[in-house]
Structure 1
Amino acid sequence: MEFIWRNVKLLDRSETVDIVMDANGRIAELADACTVTGGRMIDCTGMYASSGWIDLHVHAVPGLAPYGDEIDEIGVRHGVTTIVDAGSCGADRIDELAASRAEAKTRVLALLNVSRLGLQRVDELSELQWIDREEALQAIARHPAFIVGLKARMSGSVIGNSGLEPLRLARVLSEESGLPLMVHIGSRPPGVEEILPLLRERDVVTHYLNGKRDNRLFDHNGEPLPVLMEALDRGVRLDVGHGTASFSFEVAEMAKRWGIRFDTISTDIYRGNRLNGPVHSLSRVLTKFLLLGYPLEEIIAAVTSRPAGWLGRPELGRIRVGEPANLTLFEVSDRPSELLDSEGEKRTAGQTIKARGAYINGQYFAC
């Protein structure tokens, strides 16, 4: 049976369309609006469709505390068709995360924590012996399509007395495996001026809008640090990674003022900040960037085509007849939203982005 999203807006077209999915879950047609009949139909008047949202930084192992959650609770139930677990598991438990995909409706990819322990502890890089090169390479070999990068959390509470050595070891592992690094920046030590010079093209800095005054990417005048500009010149990417403690409206305005744009917008979501805030959902995080004055097209690209390109899976970031339907249905309403950043600052958005549905693997999920 065909499934039809009727009279829906696309960001790259001036006219609305009917999106027709066939019985095999492929896009059969992008037809003129309100011309297709038959099959199961949803009236999408006033709503947008994009390729399925990709959240490049989540924590999706429910048994891990505090950084864990159910896959579909942070995936299709919030309009996100692809999540990338960002280092919940190292080599010791990555097989468990890979196996959990069988029961999930959301597509799951992973960044392998360079510590074999992953987030079984929150100081997983404090002992260098936990960075096991052979175990990591074997895990990557077992899951070549699942593991898409490496994760190193370079905060003082994580590394203990290890200094920069965990990142140096991660750099070597990246070069051996051919996988990029995602590096978490947080509280000192080490400082961002030490971390960024070790990053290369396609590596990702997550939490780039954090408000930690002793370790952010902007100086006391709000100007970008030279080390940040040098990293961008080398092709280092910037990811939001909102999280509980890593997004500041003030710093986001500094970045926008200087034209320091995000490559990807992600949540760093887990059960605690989903239920209690300040994250709640990818929709809520996207709304913050609408409030900051970014164009809708740029915001949605940061959760579709841009992360899809970084993943080397451009098909996840487009809508094309004949390809599997991987779609998010969302609205932009004039309803106000009260938004909270990680520093406790409240702002009210005049417009709100809200996911309304997701379509993946031939199934539709209402939000």
Structure 2
Amino acid sequence: MDHDLILRNGRVLDPGTGRDEVADIAFAAGKVAAIGPGLRGRAERDVSGCIVMPGNIDLHAHVYWGGTSISVDADQLARRCGTTTWVDVGSAGPGNFAGFRKHVIEPSQTRILAYLHVSHAGIFAFSPSVMVGESGDMRLMDTETCAAVAREHPDLIRGIKVRVGANTSGVNGIAPLYHALAAADRAGLPVMCHIDRPPPRYEDVLAELRPGDILTHCYKPFPNAPCYADGRIKEACWQARERGVIFDIAHGAGSFDFGVAEAMLAGGFPPDVISSDVHVLCIDGPAFDNMETMSKFLLLGMPLPDIVRAVTAAPAAVLRRPDLADLSVGSTGDATVMRMEEGRFNFTDVSRQTRTGRQRFALDSMVVGGALWHATDGQAKAAE
């Protein structure tokens, strides 16, 4: 049988199925069709020396490009970092989600899912020149409409987003989170909660989150860090993880600190999900994209299979999209192919600390819907 595409001789690293071996993988009719020797295809690509993983899922991004000032172009950035599924978290709210769907999500070649902001217009004033926290005005908390819009778009909306903290909710403190929880309860969805500077405190937010809810920006630096100055992990983190709260990195411009990450990993508290929080203020550094964030965890000593799980099977479970979780036969035909580059590479966190590493991930190619969508050499070899 001739398949549509064969990736040959790559290291298939798929924590969702437990596979880690050099193998060929075939795609047909938009799905994973076969893994093994002797496969034939109408097109093929030799990916010897590369890692072939399920399509990279960025659980925290801002990609309502052209509709909100915070957002970047998903397809353009994907060609740099290999993300096949983006989750836009709160760029759009119930008042403008229809435009997001029609003008950005539907035309996009890479997949875009969403967490809908409980604020009426989402994150509407985030730029180098204007910065207004949408949760600072309780009149914008559109709880009932948020739940209704989420129910109208179950194929795309996977949760409810809210931002709280001194920068985003100001004197309202934790109150916007209560609106998000109410909307999420009505819609039968989880909440993703952003935190920045206190109030509220890290512990106060965790106390409100339910099993399956997400604390994003989980490795923030002082003064709202998950650990004490001596490196001890706050008890609230252990309690929240025990009851099923998800801890998401969301690097961004202010939410990943090497010292905090080192303390958390040393204390046995790795993140559940690695994501970039890519937006206009961090696309050119320090976050760049999710592959850069993954490289920082490689530098910190996180095992490679755990890094891959944190951008594939783990976010797929959060999204309740098991078809995106792995490369099993019949699953969605998305794959990210990475090279491991050797050299001397500097990585910078949001506190302007720099670490130097000997390895980093780099994109070789990506498969979207069973077809070779992008290759860094611009070539797709036709099978003989």
Q: Same fold (TM over 0.5)?
A: yes
SS of residue matched to 1:261: coil
Q: 2: distance between equivalents of 1:38 and 1:178?
A: 43
> How much does 1:98 deviate?
1.4
Q: 2: distance between equivalents of 1:304 and 1:175?
A: 26
Q: 2: distance between equivalents of 1:181 and 1:16?
A: 39
Q: 2: distance between equivalents of 1:26 and 1:164?
A: 43
The 1:219/1:42 distance shift into structure 2, 3 A limit, reads same
- Which residue number corresponds to residue 129 of structure 2? none
Amino acid at match of 1:84: V
- Which residue number corresponds to residue 16 of structure 1? 22
Q: 1: distance between equivalents of 2:137 and 2:332?
A: 44
> How much does 1:214 deviate?
1.9
Contact 2:344 2:358 in 1 (8 A): yes
- Which residue number corresponds to residue 121 of structure 2? 117
SS of residue matched to 2:274: coil
Contact 2:324 2:331 in 1 (8 A): no
> How much does 1:37 deviate?
4.7
Q: 2: distance between equivalents of 1:92 and 1:76?
A: 31
Does structure 1 residue 94 correspond to structure 2 residue 97?
A: yes
Q: 2: distance between equivalents of 1:205 and 1:134?
A: 23
Does structure 1 residue 46 correspond to structure 2 residue 49?
A: yes
Q: 1: distance between equivalents of 2:254 and 2:65?
A: 20
The 1:322/1:157 distance shift into structure 2, 3 A limit, reads closer
The 1:233/1:80 distance shift into structure 2, 3 A limit, reads same
After TM superposition, the structure 1 = structure 2 runs for residues 23-172 of structure 1, keeping only pairs within 5 Å, are 24-32=29-37, 35-37=38-40, 39-63=42-66, 66-75=69-78, 77-99=80-102, 100-121=104-125, 122-172=132-182
Contact 2:151 2:187 in 1 (8 A): no
> How much does 1:83 deviate?
0.5
SS of residue matched to 1:298: helix
> How much does 1:72 deviate?
0.9
After TM superposition, the structure 1 = structure 2 runs for residues 254-273 of structure 1, keeping only pairs within 5 Å, are 254-273=263-282
- Which residue number corresponds to residue 348 of structure 2? 340
Q: Choose the corresponding residue for 1:295, options 298, 303, 324.
A: 303
Moved more, 260-269 or 216-225: 216-225
Contact 2:81 2:363 in 1 (8 A): yes
- Which residue number corresponds to residue 309 of structure 1? 317
SS of residue matched to 2:167: helix
Contact 1:209 1:216 in 2 (8 A): yes
> How much does 1:360 deviate?
1.3
CA offsets, 1:149-206, max 9 Å, x none?
1111112121122122111122222222111111111112221132111111011111
CA offsets, 1:5-35, max 9 Å, x none?
111111244542111223x233232122xx4
CA offsets, 1:51-109, max 9 Å, x none?
10100000001235652111212335521110100111111111111122221111110
> How much does 1:38 deviate?
5.1
> How much does 1:135 deviate?
1.4
Does structure 1 residue 327 correspond to structure 2 residue 327?
A: no
Q: 2: distance between equivalents of 1:153 and 1:85?
A: 14
Does structure 1 residue 356 correspond to structure 2 residue 361?
A: no
The 1:258/1:88 distance shift into structure 2, 3 A limit, reads same
> How much does 1:289 deviate?
0.3
> How much does 1:363 deviate?
2.7
Amino acid at match of 2:121: L
Amino acid at match of 2:35: L
CA offsets, 1:209-266, max 9 Å, x none?
111x221111121111122222122211100000011100000001011111110000
SS of residue matched to 1:156: coil
Q: 1: distance between equivalents of 2:90 and 2:9?
A: 40
Amino acid at match of 2:313: S
> How much does 1:334 deviate?
1.9
Contact 2:72 2:279 in 1 (8 A): yes
Q: 2: distance between equivalents of 1:94 and 1:309?
A: 24
The 1:257/1:324 distance shift into structure 2, 3 A limit, reads closer
- Which residue number corresponds to residue 217 of structure 1? 226
Segments of structure 1 that go 5 or more residues without pairing to the other structure are none
The 1:109/1:76 distance shift into structure 2, 3 A limit, reads farther
SS of residue matched to 1:90: coil
- The number of residues matched between the two structures is 362
- Which residue number corresponds to residue 380 of structure 2? none
Amino acid at match of 1:297: P
> How much does 1:2 deviate?
2.4
TM-score (norm 1): 0.94
Q: 2: distance between equivalents of 1:281 and 1:73?
A: 12
CA offsets, 1:99-120, max 9 Å, x none?
2222111111000111112111
Q: 2: distance between equivalents of 1:290 and 1:68?
A: 27
Contact 1:76 1:106 in 2 (8 A): no
SS of residue matched to 2:260: helix
Segments of structure 2 that go 5 or more residues without pairing to the other structure are 126-131, 377-384
Does structure 1 residue 243 correspond to structure 2 residue 252?
A: yes
